Homo-oligomer: A and B are copies of this chain.
Amino acid sequence: MGRWEPDARGRLQRAALDLYVERGFDETTVQDIADRVGVTERTFFRYFADKREVLFDGSERLVNGVVDGVKNATDAMPLTRVVSAFAGMGEFFDERKSWSAQRARVVTATPGLMERELLKLSTMGVAIAAVLEEQGVDAHEAALAADLGVAVFHRAFQRWVVDESATFSACVRATSDELQAAVRKA
């Protein structure tokens, strides 16, 4: 056994989510989280840039997955490629649905966390737009398609979290269909 308990990062993440659920984000100090794990406040900040980031650890993998999905998509239309890429992340989400639901409740209940979530989504949109541009899509069109794809993802996610039995990709497809309907009617 090493000098300290292993996986401080993972333990901090779990303790943080637990505490945020138990007593709320604002009512939880970083000191509380560190104490529960048995490390120092300073150690928390070595692993996570701030008190919010501890809930956004998977986000990089999500972005990578979606970006790859867009790169490999074959459909002719940019928006379709983006939506397919999100639908392709079904496993990623379905595997940790109960964790996602718990996390989502805390995030939506806390403006500060919602801000960070929206920034991550926006950043993902920029990354997706960059891929589309690489693929020869006009900049305006790429940015719009990326933002629309992200909007579809966001709504689909809400739906998926609320509906206990739904599959993630099914939610994406359903939302995408609604998008078609909403726009074609206009």
Contact = CB atoms under 8 A, between A and B. Distances in A.
A80 interface: yes
A183 B178 contact: no
A76 B80 CA distance: 27
Interface string A140-156: 11011101100100110
A175 interface: yes
A1 interface: no
A147 B155 contact: yes
Interface in A7-64: none
A79 interface: yes
Contacts of A178: 140-141, 144
Interface string A113-129: 01110110110000000
A180 B186 contact: yes
A154 B147 contact: yes
Interface string A142-186: 011101100100110011000000000000000100111111111
Nearest to A142: B182
A179 B116 contact: no
Contact of A148 (B83, B114, B148, B158): B148
A49 B76 CA distance: 48
A182 B119 contact: no
Given A148-B148, A151-B151, A155-B144, A77 B114 contact: no
A182 B118 contact: no
A28 to B, nearest CB: 19
Nearest 3 A/B pairs, CB to CB: A115-B115, A118-B118, A183-B183
